[in-house]
Amino acid sequence: MEYLDTDSVRLSNDENSVIIIDQTKLPSETVYLSLNTAEEIFDAIKLLKVRGAPAIGICAGYAVYVLAKQMRANSKDELVSRVQKIAEYLGSSRPTAVNLNAALSRMTNTLCNAQGNVCELLEILKAEAVAIHEEDIAMCRRIAKYGLTLVKSGDGILTHCNAGALATSRYGTGLGALLLGKEKGYDFKVYVDETRPLLQGARLTAFELDRAGIDVTLVCDNMAGYLMSKGYINAVFVGCDRVAVNGDTANKIGTLSAAVLAKHFCVPFYVFCPSTTIDYSIPDGNAIPIEMRNGEEIRSMFCKRSIAPDVKCLNPAFDVTPAELITAIVTDRGICRPPYTASLSSLIC
């Protein structure tokens, strides 16, 4: 499996399934799943078999097409009604990542605005799903180019959670600049937070960077302050699942802590995202819904037996980093800097 040639989500050759890499099995196994039903796709998103805001959006696009083919609708009105119900169902699987519902809305709106018989409408849905995927590949490449201008060869980079090709397509967002830099001969020293409770940094980011031949060191989440105090970190690179108009950003739980430490030690803190991840409908991070997950992910996930007593667990999947802690937000349309209300708004002009 060549790193940059891997699609974490794709349409099957017969166009009857959505094919994903089961990210819960990495790094010990590379398992491809064929998803054929709405329930299978819902569970794959909910259980993080497919994860990362852009990857979820790609999955949603292909899911609508695959499921629409199965509906055997007799008219456009019937097809639209059924697709809207499926989109509502899939959209409830994870509330924080804006790309999921954005992709579902894009697919349903495309269908509503299209003309033709049912067969022609299905082809239009397929083309739209493919466009969502191809646009993400191009966006990740542009993000990587912008991001690479912020660092130099030899820099030490801290990253939190996973924002590589597994979470998007090909280059990724937060890891894209590092992978592109590797291609161009840059030597980075990347420190990867394990990212509890799901260990997506340890299982996925470390896996991806190692496969790409990048110098990677895995660290515990509570080591970031130590690394910064010793001068090991020149920049922090993270992805995100949603950005508010004022620049407040939701990313995997623990990102806020890294941002606070970076501010204290005067380390630049960069957020990477496609422009589609910016939610212009919400003014600030207080309006971002935070997904709460099963506490067993803290007590026993990846362990044969529980590592904690039977006590209450609090397990939010994300936290919100205030805009004032973010040095810049790197998008496919350019690098945005404070004040974000102005710079982010300029992207839609």
Task: Convert the pLDDT of each residue in 144-162 to its tens digit.
Answer: 999 999 999 999 999 999 9
Over range 71-91, report the average pLDDT: 96
Burial of 75 (0-12, 13-18, 19+ CB in 10 A): exposed
pLDDT at 166 over 80: yes
Residues involved in catalysis: 241
Q: Listing from the earlier edge strand, what are the strands of the sheet with 318-321? A: 242-243, 249-252, 318-321
Q: What band does 1 get if pLDDT is binned at 50, 70 and 90?
A: very low
* pLDDT given at position 53: 87
* pLDDT given at position 276: 87
Over range 195-204, report the average pLDDT: 94
Q: Which residue has the higher pLDDT, 34 or 6?
A: 34
Q: H/E/C letters for each residue in the chain?
A: CCHHHCCCEEECCCCCCEEEECCCCCCCCCCEEEECCHHHHHHHHHCCCCCCHHHHHHHHHHHHHHHHHHCCCCCHHHHHHHHHHHHHHHHCCCCCCHHHHHHHHHHHHHHHHCCCCHHHHHHHHHHHHHHHHHHHHHHHHHHHHHHHCCCCCCCEEEEECCCCCCCCCCCCCCCHHHHHHHHCCCCCEEEEECCCCCCHHHHHHHHHHHHCCCEEEEECHHHHHHHHHCCCCCEEEECCCEECCCCCEEEECCHHHHHHHHHHCCCCEEEECCHHHECCCCCCHHHCCCCECCCHHHHCCCCCCCCCCCCCCCCECEEEECHHHCCEEEECCEEECCCHHHHHHHHHC
* pLDDT given at position 6: 63
Percentage of the chain exceeding pLDDT 70: 98
Can you give the length of the chain in residues? 349
Q: Cα–Cα distance between 33 and 226 in angstroms, integer?
A: 40
Percentage of the chain exceeding pLDDT 90: 91
Q: Cα–Cα distance between 92 and 42 in angstroms, integer?
A: 8
For 27-73, the pLDDT digits (tens) are 999 999 999 999 999 999 999 999 998 999 999 999 999 999 999 99
Q: Which residue has the higher pLDDT, 180 or 2?
A: 180
Q: What token pair was written down for 281?
A: 């409908």
Complete domains list, the chain, with CATH: 3-141 (1.20.120.420), 150-348 (3.40.50.10470)
* pLDDT given at position 127: 98
pLDDT at 95 over 90: no
* pLDDT given at position 101: 94
Q: What band does 2 get if pLDDT is binned at 50, 70 and 90?
A: very low
For 112-155, the pLDDT digits (tens) are 999 999 999 999 999 999 999 999 999 999 999 999 999 999 99
* pLDDT given at position 170: 77
Q: What token pair was written down for 200?
A: 């997506």
Please state the pTM of the whole predicted model: 0.89
Over range 202-215, report the average pLDDT: 95
Over range 18-32, report the average pLDDT: 95
Strands 328-331 and 334-336: antiparallel
pLDDT at 295 over 90: yes
* pLDDT given at position 5: 54
Q: Which residue has the higher pLDDT, 105 or 349?
A: 105
Q: What token pair was written down for 21?
A: 């890499």
For 242-271, the pLDDT digits (tens) are 999 999 999 999 999 999 999 999 999 999
* pLDDT given at position 171: 86
Cβ–Cβ < 8 Å for 241, 96: yes
* pLDDT given at position 4: 46
Instruction: Specify the amino acid at residue 118.
Output: V
Rg (Cα) of the chain, in Å, rounded? 20
Average pLDDT score over the chain = 95
Q: Which residue has the tokens 């937060």?
A: 174
Strands 9-11 and 249-252: unpaired
